[in-house]
Amino acid sequence: MFAFFILFHVSFFNLIVIFILYLFAVTPNEMVVTWVTLKNVSDPFVFYGLNDLQLNARAITNKFTDGGPEKRSIYVHRAIMSNLSSGKKYSKYTY
């Protein structure tokens, strides 16, 4: 099993958007990619491939709202990248 975690943020017009990217190998040929956004994405995908981004996987999204007085929400997106080859380096892009 392989797991990988990245935390980064991007600023747009004084808004800070925090992304959390988590990769987890389910089998030697499948990997789950999970990322978090503060705004909903209408049609979340992950694009991936060996030399270019010719493969894609649609993500499912779950909205989580905290129980505090501000009722802040985050959106957790999860997609399964399949048909992977062991020992290869893939490029990926989440949207």
Cα–Cα dist 35/7, whole Å: 10
The pLDDT score that the predictor gives to residue 95 is 59
Reference 24, options 89, 93, 78, 60; nearest CA is 78
- CA 46 – CA 60 distance, rounded (Å): 11
Mean pLDDT calculated for residue range 67-85: 91
Greatest mean pLDDT range, 3-7, 18-22, 70-74, 83-87? 70-74
What per-residue confidence (pLDDT) applies to 69? 94
Residue-wise pLDDT for 14-67, tens only, equals 444 556 678 888 888 898 988 888 888 888 888 888 888 888 899 999 999 999
> Is the overall model pTM greater than 0.85, yes or no?
no
